[in-house]
Chain A
Amino acid sequence: MKRRQFIKKAGLTAGTVITAPYILPSGRLFANTGARVVNHVVFVLFGGGIRNQESIEQGFISNQPGQSATGNIMRNMLDGAEPTEALDVFNYAGGNSMWDPILSTPLSKQGAYFKEVLYGEGPTGHYNGHTVAMTGVYTETGLNLNVNPEFPTIFEYYRKHSDPARSAMNAWWISEGLGPYPSLNYSRYPGYGAGYGANYMRPLTLFFEGQPGSRQLQDAILYQPDDVARINKIKSILDKNFDETAADLPGIQNTADHREEIKAFYVETLEKVQNGGMEFPLPYDNPNLLTGDLVAVAGAWEVLNKFTPELTVVNTTNLDICHSNFTGYLNFLHRADYGVGWLWDKIQSHPVLADDTIMVCIPEHGRNLMPNNLQDGNGMLAFDHTSDANSRRLFSLIVGPDDKVIRQTFGNNGVATAESVDIVPTIAHILGFHEDIPNGLLNGRVLTEAFL
């Protein structure tokens, strides 16, 4: 063999050995790339069913019979001038005016703004709208079922495919309401499930005056670690003498240490609420203006501030009142927008989260083009969501550090440039595990155009 041939062959062999894939103990062909855009994602499921007419088109009440006033009532999220007439609409539920925005620059100018997003398939219901957004798979289920989704949630993908695997303390699902929502922290999918699920809580039930938590947990105390160890020591002796285990309790289970941390968080948060020390997204410190959505957002902030989880999902749903009350819908939309702006503002002030967090916002579905027959006190007609083309129109925001997330608007021509199923792969991309999700599980794509 000539010297030149030898060198060529040896080089090829060495190159092949170096680049050849190998089977890891986990069964993967390649090691997790782990390349992340940032280390924290906050996903706001800006839910309840929002029409693009009142959000991105800033139609205000102009789509009501005999009304012409237009304007932007979401000035924390969207760019545009506020309404200047028909402002008595905001005399609602303790309020008497519009709220000044908390953000000097709207979120649509702080990241990628997808003006038209498509909810492609399946009925536009709250449960399945949430399910689609959190699993990245369209579903035909049309009922608000109190069951875990069929396909893995973003929490399970995150916990199973991150390297090293993450604990439930890093994944939180915080909802405005109960009903079907507590079931969305893990799926029924084989190989995933509760073992990879997220911590879940509904702050309103747990922490607020007059609610079950304030009535039934007010005497709970924090034990010293020594006493916790004593309880666990006796428990382990008792468990040793019993063959059955309660490990198959429904729901996720944290480690003993993390349970203690979360218990401490519960007790401290209850005390904060009772002492007036908890922060809420309220512009005038007027508790009468508080909504369930804003309580959920405040609870999400408490979790973010305390545990700095890598993946947090929070929803708002109050504006679903639109089934019977359009005025209420506008007001809840306006206040939820303030809550999202407040949350982003808080994140920017946090030493760990600032500049290392991307926030994603999307409604779970829209609402119908045509109203139903119900009128509210202002004579405004209400809107349902029964899977017409308009109820499949959404928008989305992906905001984050200016060296990571592009400042650009997509879909200016009214054509959808993204789908609701794209959110899960996009979050997986941000947190660096998209390549490790098995092929065929997700319907959507990574919205790569949102990132620099």
Chain B
Amino acid sequence: MQMFEYFFLFIFSALFALSSCKKETKVINETVVDNYVYEINQVAVYQNNIEKTRQKTPEAFLSGLYANLFQSPIEANTLSDLSLIREATGDKQMADELFLNNFINAGGTMIPSNIQMRADLDLFITETYLRFYLRMPNPYEVFELKKVIDEDENLTPELVYQAFGLSNEYKFY
């Protein structure tokens, strides 16, 4: 009987010890990013374009381009069609130019009007850099682009967007 009591006491003590020996830990839920976070679109932003060293795959380029212009994800069927057209064309750069041309002229793209662009060029340029390049323009880039747009009243936002979509930086991430 006494032996049974010792045994019971041992089990109880062991359970108590196990439950009370939990190591105190502190969960640190800290977000570490090496880029800024642009609050409106909730996407990581590059600090500068030196970070972009890898070329996008054709699918990444096309789906990104579509999303940037229409502000909605590309449908799988559309992406499949575009991939087939690209495969059926030897000059891939030319195919990309045609896709962009078609997107811009299809209607439904989210592009500021010419009046909106010229009403606040700094804002337009900053937003265009963020939309296509996921980074802020540096002051010289703003100056350059602003000058070109200012000097040419026939330069529309659609043409500016196409230049961004076809630029080398847009093909990298």
Contacts and interface: CB of A to CB of B under 8 A. Distances in A.
Interface of A: 168, 173, 178, 182, 185, 197-202, 205-206, 212-213, 215-221, 223, 226-227, 230-235, 237-239, 241-246, 248-254, 259, 262-263, 266
The secondary-structure label for the interface of chain B is: helix
Contacts of A173: 90
Interface string B73-94: 0000010111011011111111
Contacts, number: 146
B148 A234 contact: yes
B86 to A, nearest CB: 9
A217 to B, nearest CB: 5
Interface string B100-130: 0110011100000000000000000000000
A176 to B, nearest CB: 11
Contacts of A239: 167-169
B97 interface: yes
Interface stretch (B3-11, B27-35, B49-57): B49-57
Given A200-B90, A217-B102, A266-B98, A238 B85 contact: no
Given A212-B84, A217-B98, A230-B154, 12 more contacts: A219-B102, A223-B101, A230-B152, A230-B155, A234-B148, A234-B163, A238-B167, A243-B50, A244-B53, A244-B169, A254-B93, A263-B101
B44 interface: no
A249 B98 contact: no
B164 interface: yes
Nearest to B80: A212
B163 A263 contact: no
B141 interface: yes
Contacts of B84: 178, 205, 212
A248 B106 CA distance: 29
A236 to B, nearest CB: 9
A213 B145 contact: no
A246 B88 CA distance: 20
B102 A220 contact: yes
B14 interface: no
6 contacts: A234-B164, A239-B167, A241-B49, A241-B169, A253-B91, A259-B94
Interface in B156-173: 159-160, 162-164, 166-169, 171-172
B168 A205 contact: no
A229 to B, nearest CB: 10
B39 interface: no
B24 interface: no
B49 A205 contact: no
Contacts of A227: 154, 159
Contacts of A244: 52-53, 55, 168-169, 172
Contacts of B105: 219-221
B3 to A, nearest CB: 78
B91 to A, nearest CB: 5
Contacts of A212: 80-82, 84-85, 88
